[in-house]
Amino acid sequence: MLKIYNTLTRQKEEFHPQQAGIVNMYVCGPTVYNYIHIGNARSVVAFDTVRRYLEFSGYQVNYVSNFTDVDDKMIKAAKEQGITVPELAYKYIQAYMEDTAALNVEPATTHPRATENIDGIISFIEDLIEKGYAYQSGGDVYYRARKFAHYGQLSGQSLDDLEVGASEHVSTEEVAKKEDPLDFALWKAAKPGEIKWDSPWGAGRPGWHIECSVMSTKYLGDTLDIHAGGQDLEFPHHENEIAQSEAKTGHRFVNYWMHNGFVTIGRDNEKMSKSLGNFVTVHDLIKEVDPQVLRFFMSTTQYRRPIQYSQESLVEAQANLEHLKNTYDNLAYRLKDATSGTDGGVQRQLADFRARFVAAMDDDINVQNGIAVVYELMRFANQYVEQRLVQREPIVAIQLMLKRLVAVFGVDLAVSATEINDEKIKELIEKRNAARAEKDFALSDQIRDQLRDQGIILEDTPQGTRYRKESN
C-alpha cells in the first residue's frame, strides 16, 4: 500500500484517492519571467517522477501544473527587456516546455495560465467578499487571514510568529491599507503603465495566491487528492491557498500535501544565488550536460531530501546511467544467439524484483531504495547474458522489466545503434578476429586502436566480438 508523507499532518499516511483508480494532482508551476533554474527543475522532476510511479501503479493521473504569467517580477522583467508582459510570458513558457521536454518530463494534462482565468479569479474574490473573508481597500482587495480558523496549520506556525514575519516583508503604504498585517492581497490596483484588467474594484491584476486556488479547483474540483510544490511554498503561498479555497468552497482543499527539498550547490552546500555566481539555469546546463543524465541525477534522490548539485554528482549519475544502457545493449546482443524457450527461475526472480521495487517506492516514493533494486536487477541481467546458452523469452522478459522500472525515473532505454554499414570496417573486424585466432595479438591490438580512432568500440565477450559506435 502506497504511503505518502503529508506535510499537513507531518506523518506518512496511506494513499487513498477520492475516486478509485484516478488521482487529481496539482503542482505549482513557474513564474515565467526567466529560464527555470535547477531549483525549479528539482520540483518539476520530483513530481513528474511521483506521477510516473502513480501511473506505473495503475492510476490515471489528472496532472495540472500552472504558469504564473503576471506578477511584480514579470512586470519588472518585461520593462527591463523592453517588451510586454504577454510577450515575456510567451518567450519563457516556450523555453520551459523545451527545457522540460529535454528532461523527459511528461506534459501536464493541463497547463493553465493565470491571465486566461481573470474572470474566474474575479468571481472567486467576489464570493470571498460576500462571505466576509475579504475586503476592499483603496482599489486593492485583501483576505482576512485571522478569520480562517486553521491559518498557520500547514506551516506549523503561530499567528503571532506569522504576524511578525508579515510585518517585516510589507511596505508602510501596504500596512496602512490592511486591517491586519497578516492579511494578504487578492487583487492589486494597477499602477500607471502596468498591465491591468477591469474589475468591480477598479483596474488591476490578481494576487499570486488566488491564481492557484482558482486554477486548481477549476480543473480538479473543490478537493484535490495531491497538491505539490517546493518546500519554500509552504508559507505563505500554500497556507494562503488553503485559507482562500476552504473559505470559498466549504470543503477540505487538499487531502495530501507534498513538498520537495531544496537544491544546494557544490561541496559546501551553498544556496544558489546570482550574487554568489552559482545560479544555474536548465536552459544553459543542458547545452553542456546530457539532459538524460541531469534527469537521472535528480529523479534518483527521494523528493523530500535536499539535493547537492555538483560536478561529481553528475559524473556519478552518468556512470550509473551508462551501466544501465550497456546492460540493455548486452541483453539485445544476446538475442542474436538465444534459443527458444522459457525459464521459470528467471520469471520468479523478476517477480521478486518487481515486488521489492514496489515495496521501496510505496514508502513515500523512496526512489533511492527503488533504484537500488534496479541496480540489483541490472547485475542479475548481466550474469544471465554471460551464460554460454541463453533463451529468448527470459531475455525479452528481463529487457521489459528493466525498461519499465527505469521509465519511472524518466529514462527511456533503447538499444544503441550498432549497425555498421562500412564494409571496410567490417573487414577490419574480421581481420582482427583472424589475428586473435592465430594469437597475433600485436596485429589485433593495432586494428583495435585503428577502429577506436574511427569511433568504433570493440567488446570481446564469451560469445564473440561485438562492436558499437562511440557515443558523442
Binding-site residue numbers for ATP are 274
Report which of 261, 320, 264, 293 is spatially closest to residue 102, judged by C-alpha positions: 293
Strand partners, 63: 25
Strand partners, 363: 3
Q: Which residues carry a binding-site annotation?
A: 28, 212, 237, 241, 274
**Residue 139, SS3?**
coil
**Residue 137, SS3?**
strand
**Residue 67, SS3?**
strand
Q: How far is CA 317 from CA 307, 332, 333, in A?
A: 13, 23, 24
Question: DSSP per residue over 149-189, as a string?
Answer: TTTTTTTT--HHHHHHHHHHTS-HHHHHH-SSTT-EEEEEE
Q: 525459464: which residue's cell?
A: 343
- 69 contact partners, CB below 8 Å, separation of at least 6: 31, 32, 85, 86, 89, 93, 113, 114, 115
What's the burial of 8, exposed, middle or buried (CB within 10 Å: 0-12/13-18/19+)?
buried
User: What are the cell numbers at 453?
Assistant: 580512432
Strand partners, 185: 142
145-162 in b/e form (b: 16+ CB < 10 A) is bebbeebbebbebeeeeb
CA distance 376 to 353: 8
DSSP 114: G
